Amino acid sequence: MTADAIRALIAQALPQAQVDVQDPNHDGQHFAAIVVAPEFEGLTTIKQHRLVNDALRDVLQSGAVHALQLRTFSPSQWQQQQVTFS
């Protein structure tokens, strides 16, 4: 699995999202993602993560991805962060 493939699956499910996916170990199994999406507005972090996990259900269940660290934000939450996309 590649970071680009994961990014594409998330973007397909959340077309208005800004998505950054990294493969910090360069092993194709452990990923870190930041997702900022208007669909997250008013949702708890758990519900935000569920939307992303639903988009990746097949690859997560197949074992193609061993771990995915998620950071999710609505646009208003993102504006409060001191983090930028790479």
Residues 37-82: tens digit of each pLDDT: 999 999 999 999 999 999 999 999 999 999 999 999 999 999 888 6
Q: Report pTM.
A: 0.90
Q: Return the C-alpha torsion angle 28, 21, 60, 72, nearest 10.
A: 150
Sheet of strand 30-36: strand arrangement:
18-22, 30-36, 67-73
pLDDT band at 84 (very low <50, low <70, confident <90, very high): low
Architecture of the domain made up of 3-79: 2-Layer Sandwich (3.30)
Locate the domains of the chain by residue range: 3-79
pLDDT at 80: 87
Q: What is the SS3 assignment for 46?
A: helix
